[in-house]
Amino acid sequence: MSFFRTSYYNKSNSTIFVGAKANSYNIKDFDSAVGKFIESGEKHLTLNLESVHRAYPSGILPMIVTIDRLRLFGKTIYVKLPSNSNTRKLFRSVNWAHYLAPEQFEKSESVHDRHLVTRNFDDANNQKLIVDDFMDVILRNMQVPLDIISGLEWSINEITDNVLNHSKSKVGGYIQASTYPKNNLIVFAIVDGGIGILKSMQEGFPNLRKDLDAIGEAIKAGVTRNPKFGQGNGLAGTLRVTTMTGGSFDITSGTGRLIVTPNETKRKMLGLGKFKGTIINGQVKITDDFSIIKALDFGKGTDYTPSNIIETQYEKEDEDCLVLKMSNESTGFGTRRSGYQIRTKIFNLLNSKKDYPLVIDWSGIPIISSSFADEVIGKLFLKLGAISFSARIRNISMEEIVRNLLDKAVAQRLTQAADE
């Protein structure tokens, strides 16, 4: 197969071959190939990914929901992973392989400290867990202004809620996200296998006929298929959050695709193909100029600020302070990398409430490594300075060995500073 060829169906062996690049631009070709498989009446499909060299969430998550739908109709699917070793490893580690063929590939136990690996959600409990995990990835990997923290959490809550309440997807939704600290960028993809925006919007706007027109209506503030299910601000607000940070918003449903950046809006047709569901890709850039109040104003002149994970999970109810329970952290306590992530999270907490102290609760932590202690407390002490550190950081409930390691880390940093 040539490097630039996209998906096609071979009837003789009931196989869909996917080309070298799997992204949102090739959705229509994959959908067309699936349509030909369905027309063939065959019960078994082989999905051949051996030629795939580059794959993106915007291309693979739609494949996953489409394969899910085929299984609901009694089809069986066998998957051949990419021949390229790095690409094959990616499919296994981010759980694309598992969700494409759960009978063939077990769910990966790999921990990706900069990414939220592919997750499926089909009820409110799973949705909350995923949103919390998404935000934890953000807090651990990048120093992010509070307004962007609030905007991101609000957006992911709204879009995943749309999947559960509007899409009518029998397979729920899928989400994947990544952080790029060097580029000050956060990207996410959310895909469902539901009825699509046009059919959903036709419940409230029966005169709509085209997918692009339906998408255009859906991104308007206050427009919803049924007010009973929400105020209709989710897509509009997410578009504003992403683009007002300097990022982008990309939505595909049916035969239509809308791409919005701070500078332009592109309306595209998928040609002969279509995607039976909705795909949302968002990019958020880290900037100090973003205002959550302006983003969620919707022209009404109201100062609405959504609650955020810092207020709900780290702020103590009966005292003006923040609490970080180390036993709840999943990064481990033995490496500098895990220490860096905890320290990044601490800075985000401190910056979110500049007049609040932070209580670091070490209960349940029997031992930490010296490198971890230095990366978290030693470097934190050096960054804040002795007075600010003493005023804002309170370490409590430490085992004696943990206390000694933290004290040693601070002492070594003080000695280093004095020598310099």
**Using CA atoms, how far apart are residues 62 and 57, in angstroms rounded to an integer?**
8
**Using CA atoms, how far apart are residues 49 and 340, in angstroms rounded to an integer?**
37
**Using CA atoms, how far apart are residues 291 and 348, in angstroms rounded to an integer?**
17
Rounded to 5 degrees, what are φ and ψ at 170?
Answer: -80, -10
Q: Are residues 102 and 122 both part of a single domain?
A: no
Last residue of a domain, one of 278, 308, 338: 308
pLDDT tens-digit readout, 187-204: 999 999 999 999 999 988
Copy the structure tokens of residue 134.
């998404």
**Using CA atoms, how far apart are residues 7 and 29, in angstroms rounded to an integer?**
5
- What is the CB neighbour count within 10 angstroms for residue 24? 22
At residue 239, the pLDDT reads 96
pLDDT tens-digit readout, 206-249: 999 999 999 999 998 755 544 444 455 889 999 999 999 999 99
At residue 415, the pLDDT reads 82
Q: Could you tell me which residues come within 8 angstroms of residue 270 by beta carbon, excluding any fewer than 6 positions away?
A: 27, 28, 252, 254, 255, 256, 257
Last residue of a domain, one of 108, 133, 163: 108
Q: Is there a contact between 151 and 295 (Cβ–Cβ < 8 Å)?
A: yes
Q: Are residues 284 and 252 both part of a single domain?
A: yes
Q: Are residues 80 and 154 both part of a single domain?
A: no
Q: Are residues 97 and 117 both part of a single domain?
A: no
At residue 5, the pLDDT reads 52
3-state secondary structure of 10: strand
The low-confidence residues of the chain, meaning pLDDT below 70, are: 1-5, 110-112, 222-232, 300-302, 417-420
CA distances from 290 to 4, 144, 297, 304, 332 (A): 39, 11, 13, 14, 33
Give the CATH number for residue 96: 3.30.750.24
At residue 303, the pLDDT reads 75
Copy the structure tokens of residue 264.
């332009």
Q: Are residues 186 and 198 both part of a single domain?
A: yes
Burial 191-230 (b: 16+ CB within 10 A, else e): bbbbbbbbbbbbeebeebeebbbbbbbbbebebbbeeeee
Q: Is residue 277 classed exposed, middle or buried when 0-12, 13-18 and 19+ CB atoms within 10 A define those classes?
A: buried
Q: Is there a contact between 238 and 251 (Cβ–Cβ < 8 Å)?
A: no
**Using CA atoms, how far apart are residues 332 and 344, in angstroms rounded to an integer?**
14
End-to-end Cα separation, the chain, in angstroms: 60
Query: Do strands 115-121 and 358-361 pair parallel, antiparallel, or not at all (unpaired)?
Result: unpaired
CA distances from 5 to 22, 52, 82, 271, 349 (A): 10, 10, 15, 17, 48
Q: For residue 69, which of 179, 189, 248, 195 has the smallest C-alpha distance? A: 195
Q: For residue 175, which of 248, 94, 243, 256 has the smallest C-alpha distance? A: 94
Residue 214 identity: A
The total domain count for the chain is: 3
Q: Please give the model's pTM, rounded to 2 decimal places.
A: 0.91
Domain that holds residue 198: 111-308
Last residue of a domain, one of 288, 308, 328: 308
Q: Are residues 158 and 270 both part of a single domain?
A: yes
Q: Is there a contact between 19 and 4 (Cβ–Cβ < 8 Å)?
A: yes
Q: Are residues 221 and 337 both part of a single domain?
A: no
Q: Are residues 144 and 25 both part of a single domain?
A: no
Q: For residue 357, which of 314, 416, 408 has the smallest C-alpha distance? A: 314
Q: Are residues 43 and 74 both part of a single domain?
A: yes
Q: Is residue 22 classed exposed, middle or buried when 0-12, 13-18 and 19+ CB atoms within 10 A define those classes?
A: buried
Q: Are residues 204 and 287 both part of a single domain?
A: yes
Q: Are residues 172 and 234 both part of a single domain?
A: yes
At residue 111, the pLDDT reads 61
How far is C-alpha 410 from the chain's CA centre?
36
Q: Round the average pLDDT of the chain to a whole number and report it.
A: 91
Give the CATH number for residue 414: 3.30.750
